[in-house]
């Protein structure tokens, strides 16, 4: 299956600073990538859909100015958490997928990035 | 409302035993149902994907079933191993091309020696 990597795997930052998380699709050209957030003992929650060469589509309740997404190439999407606060501490996971909802359109998830804001 | 509900929330079994996890969904229109395994601190890894026409699909010691009429699915794990300890997530995809998946809350399985 397709391989998705994330960097960094974990990061600790101070409140008020910004953190950038990279998601790379290593062997699959992903026109669409997805960003999820997962709080302890909860399931994944979709934050936004990242579209190569265009603006991301954010889910209701997710602040686009706080979570900046850039998908400049078919293999890289970045999520920047701006002015981070302790409540932003979470596990951030990305996935790739050219299309979805169809048989064979698998979504491959990255290993996740643990963000801790102090 | 499109929802995916899993049971039990958590489960503890002894190594070598079998177990079955349940998933009920109300997603419509339905496209496919997926089971993922998520180890602690890692991203989910796909186990099976089934469309409405598939009743069962196996992946090694993992066997998933689907009843599209009752909107129920199960994941059966045979001869459990310590490495099976993880969270198992049922995910349903709607018939669309948006790529959005609807996640269940997961079942946390702990296999003890």
Please give the average per-residue pLDDT across A84-113, as a whole number. 80
Q: Is the pLDDT of residue A62 over 80?
A: yes
Top pLDDT among A52 and A35 is at A35
Strands B107-112 and B10-14: parallel
Asked if B80 and B23 touch (Cβ cutoff 8 Å), the reply is no
Tell which residue, A4, A7, A60, has the closest CA to residue A33: A4
Q: Is the pLDDT of residue B44 over 50?
A: yes
Instruction: Give the gyration radius of chain A's Cα atoms.
Output: 13
Q: Is the pLDDT of residue A103 over 80?
A: no
Q: What is the pLDDT of residue B99?
A: 62
Asked if B99's CB is within 8 angstroms of A32's CB, the reply is yes
Of the pLDDT bands very low, low, confident and very high (cuts 50, 70, 90), residue A32 is confident
Question: CA nearest A58 in B: which residue?
Answer: B100
CA angle B44, A5, B21 (to 5 degrees): 5
Q: What is the pLDDT of residue A101?
A: 43
Q: What is the pLDDT of residue B97?
A: 58
Please give the average per-residue pLDDT across B93-103, as a whole number. 75
At which residue do the structure tokens 């669309």 appear?
Answer: B96
How far, CA to CA in Å, does B58 sit from each of B26, B77, B91, B108, B112?
Answer: 24, 10, 17, 20, 24
Q: What is the pLDDT of residue A100?
A: 47
Q: Is the pLDDT of residue B98 over 70?
A: no
User: Worst-scoring range by mean pLDDT, A58-62, A65-69, A95-99?
Assistant: A95-99
CA angle A34, A85, B108 (to 5 degrees): 55
B94 contacts in chain A (CB < 8 Å): 101
Tell which residue, A85, A84, A69, has the closest CA to residue A32: A69
Nearest by CB to residue A101, choosing from B36, B41, B94, is: B94
Query: How many Cα atoms within 13 Å fall on the side-chain side of residue B39?
Result: 7
The shortest C-alpha distance from B91 to chain A (Å) reads 10
Distance, CA of A31 to chain centre: 14
Please give the average per-residue pLDDT across A42-58, as a whole number. 89
Q: Is the pLDDT of residue B43 over 70?
A: yes
What CA–CA distance (Å, rounded) separates B90 from A83? 34
Asked if A43's CB is within 8 angstroms of B103's CB, the reply is yes
Q: What token pair was written down for B84?
A: 């099976």
Q: Is the pLDDT of residue B104 over 50?
A: yes
């Amino acid at each position: 299956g397709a391989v998705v990597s994330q960097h960094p795997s974990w990061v600790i930052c101070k409140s008020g600073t910004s953190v950038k998380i990279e998601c790379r699709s290593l062997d699959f050209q992903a026109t669409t990538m997805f960003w999820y957030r997962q709080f302890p003992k909860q399931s994944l929650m979709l934050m936004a859909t990242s579209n190569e060469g265009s603006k991301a589509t954010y889910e209701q309740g997710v602040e686009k100015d706080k979570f900046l997404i850039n998908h400049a190439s078919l293999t890289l999407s970045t999520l920047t958490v701006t002015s981070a606060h302790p409540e932003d501490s979470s596990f951030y996971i990305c996935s790739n997928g050219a299309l979805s909802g169809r048989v064979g359109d698998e979504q491959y998830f990255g290993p996740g990035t643990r963000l801790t804001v102090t | 409302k499109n929802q995916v509900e899993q049971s039990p929330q958590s489960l503890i079994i002894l190594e070598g035993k079998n177990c079955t996890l349940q998933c009920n969904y109300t997603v419509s229109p339905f496209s496919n149902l997926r089971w993922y395994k998520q180890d602690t601190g890692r991203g989910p890894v796909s186990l099976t994907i089934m469309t409405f026409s598939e009743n069962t699909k196996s992946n090694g010691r993992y066997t998933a079933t689907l009843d599209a009429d009752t909107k129920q699915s199960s994941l059966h794990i045979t001869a459990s191993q310590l490495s099976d300890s993880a969270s198992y997530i049922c995910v349903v995809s709607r018939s669309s091309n948006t790529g959005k998946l609807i996640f269940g809350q997961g079942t946390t399985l702990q296999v003890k020696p």
